[in-house]
Structure 1
Amino acid sequence: MQASLLAVFAHPDDESLRCGGTLAHYAALGAKVTLVCLTRGEAGRNTDPTLQVTDLATQREQELRDACTVLGIQPPIFLGYHDSGRGERLRRDDPLATINADPLQIEAEVLEVIEQVKPQVMLTFDPHGMYGHPDHLVAHRVATAAFSSSGFRKVKVHRLFYTVQTRAEMQALQGGQSLAVLDGLPPETYAVCDCTIAARLDVNAHAAQKRAALFAHRSQTGPQSTLGTLSDAQLQPLLEFETYSLGGARGVIPEYPLKDLFAGLNVTYGLERQPG
């Protein structure tokens, strides 16, 4: 089987900060790497005043396409749901917002993608959605459900990983020029202890790609954003290592923590170089 990885996230830019290096790494090896994005992030805000944005959904869709090109992966698959917003901007009355959509229908659409791209490995948000965004929680739920349901289907996904942050990583992002979405959140809830880490990948070889992909999301990393104005000391560790917990597995896990998300699986890559 050709190595195939499927990532399921909620908004454009979700893919870059926590797993962009992983996506670039496996794409460079020759794996098929597919990204499903539930929404186009239309409930966000433009943080770069130099951009003339009249349609944020269109802008963010193009930003994600550009980021995927930088990472060397296939163009994203948009499921067409709407960004739910959060807090005071929560879109309770939008029937297409992910919080109002039928989760079984979204799961069915993810299962259709699974049938098409035949992934052995899936990635999605952790159970707390990094910082509790309603759409992140939906993405976590439907991806986890699709992984579970795939056991009864022709294409059975072997492993599900959650993108996670260690307590030290979260505390670093809460200090100094803090990442605003993490302000006031307890790391004991939104981060993971070291014994939960199932894989910690060294992606330093793809740090420049990851940075470029992150900043391809210009509307979200402008001078009015906290993400785009993190200090080098805060951002650099996130460009070098990516951390995962195990959401589920079918079959033996050959070591713990893993150094390769496909370790022990009978897969081939499109290039001669293999993960080491």
Structure 2
Amino acid sequence: MQASLLAVFAHPDDEALRCGGTLARYAAQGAAVTLICLTRGEAGKNTDPELLVTDLAAQREQELRDSCAQLGVAPPIFLGYHDSCRGERLRRDDPLATINADPLEIEARILEVIALVRPQVMLTFDPHGIYGHPDHLVAHRAATAAFTSAGIHGHAVHRLFYVVQTGEEMRRLQSGQALGVLSGLAPQTYAVCEATVAARIDVRAHAGQKRAALRSHRTQTGPLSTLGNLSDAQIGPLLEQETFSLGGLRGPLSRYPVEDLFEGLDVTFHQEQLCRT
């Protein structure tokens, strides 16, 4: 069976910083890599004053398509929910906001994609959503639920991994030109200890692709953004290694932590790449 990986995230750019290198690595090896994005990020902000944006949802959709092209993965699948935003701008009154959607409906739609692409490995947010964004938490819960129920629907997924940050990684991103979304958050809550890391993926060969994917998100990495102004000391380690915790298993792991998300699975990697246009 061809190696297949399914990633489930909430907004355009969620795929790039934490697991862009991993997505690029497996696409380059010949795995079928599929990305589900719950929203088009319409509640975000444009941080590049030179970029004239009249429709932020359309802009961010195209940015994610460009990012996927840079990573070498298939065009994203958008589920069409609305960005809920967070904090004082939380869109409680938007009936299409992700936080107001029926969680079983989201799960069912993810299951439809699982039936189509038959992944052995799934990726999504950790239980704290990296920094607690409400849509990240919805994505985590829906993807975890879909992994859990996929077996009874006849499409058992072997492994579920969560993108995580260690305490050291989080404190590094909070230093200097701090990554704004992490400001004021306690690593004791939003990071994990070293023993929780179930997979360490070497992505050095794909650092250039990961940088290009991040730059594709122009509205989020402009001169007014913190993401686009991280120092080399802050972002450098994330261009070398990406870390994951374990969300679920059907079958054993050959070791802990693994250095390959597919390690020990009976899969093949097809070097003929899917059409990425």
Give the TM-score normalised by the residue count of structure 1: 0.98
What are the equivalent positions in structure 2 for 1:14-29 lying under 5 Å apart? 14-29=14-29
Correspondence for 2:275:
none
Once residues 151 and 185 of structure 2 are traced to their aligned partners in structure 1, the CA distance between those partners, rounded to angstroms, is: 35
Aligned partner of 2:160 in structure 1 is 160
SS in 1 for 2:139: helix
Partner of 2:71: 71
Report what 2:234 is aligned to. 234
Distance in 2 (CA, whole Å) between partners of 1:232 and 1:89 is 31
Aligned counterpart, 2:59: 59
1:265-276 equivalences in 2 (<5 Å): 265-271=265-271
Match of 1:149 in 2: 149
Runs of 4+ with deviation above 6 angstroms: none
Match of 2:178 in 1: 178
Structure 2 distance, partners of 1:91, 1:218, is 24
Per-residue deviation, residues 12-66 of structure 1 (Å, max 9, x unmatched): 0000000000000000000000000000000000000000100000000000000
| Equivalent residue letter for 1:85 | C
Q: Work out the CA distance in 1 between the residues paired with 2:95 and 2:116.
A: 27
Separation in structure 1 between the aligned mates of residue 19 and residue 264 of structure 2, nearest angstrom? 21
TM-aligned CA deviation for residue 171 of structure 1:
0.2
The unaligned stretches of length 5 or more in structure 1 are none
What is the deviation of 1:271? 2.7
**Cα shift readout 1:192-245 (whole Å, capped 9, x = no counterpart):** 000000001110000000000011000000000000001111011111110000
How do residues 91-130 of structure 1 correspond to structure 2 at under 5 angstroms? 91-130=91-130
CA RMSD of aligned residues (A): 0.7
Q: 2:209, 2:250 → 1: CA distance?
A: 32
TM-fit CA distance, 1:101: 0.4
**Structure 1 position 151, deviation (Å):** 1.6
Q: How far 1:153 sits from its partner (Å)?
A: 1.4
Give the match's secondary structure for 1:265. coil
The AA in structure 1 aligned to 2:88 is E
Aligned residue for 1:41?
41
- Equivalences for residues 185-200 of structure 1 within 5 A: 185-200=185-200
Which residue is equivalent to 2:137? 137
Match of 1:252 in 2: 252
Q: Distance in 2 between matches of 1:199 and 1:244?
A: 5
- Name the CA distance, whole Å, in 2 between partners of 1:140 and 1:80: 17
Q: Tell me which residue corresponds to 2:204.
A: 204
- The CA deviation at 1:252 is 1.0
Partner residue of 1:7?
A: 7
> What is the CA–CA distance in structure 2 between the aligned matches of 1:254 and 1:235, rounded to whole Å?
30
CA distance in 2 between partners of 1:183 and 1:231 (Å) = 16
In structure 1, distance between residues paired with 2:109 and 2:271: 30
Matching residue's letter, 1:255: R
Q: What is the DSSP-based 3-state SS (H/G/I as helix, E as strand, rest coil) of the residue aligned with 1:85?
A: coil
Larger CA deviation: 148-157 vs 18-27:
148-157
Q: What is the letter of the counterpart of residue 150 of structure 2?
A: S
- Distance in 2, matches of 1:59 and 1:264, equals 40
Once the two structures are TM-superposed, the CA of residue 154 in structure 1 deviates from its matched residue by 1.5
Q: Secondary structure of 1:246's partner?
A: strand
How many angstroms apart in 1 are the aligned matches of 2:252 and 2:229? Answer: 42
Q: Give 5+ residue unaligned stretches, structure 2.
A: 273-277
For residues 137-186 of structure 1, give each alpha carbon's deviation from its aligned partner in whole angstroms, at most 9, with x where no partner exists. Answer: 00000000000001201111100000000100000001100001101111
The count of corresponding residues between Structure 1 and Structure 2 is: 272
- Secondary structure in 2 aligned to 1:220? coil
* Distance across 1 between alignment mates of 2:256 and 2:235: 27
* SS of residue matched to 1:258: coil
Sequence identity of aligned pairs in percent?
75
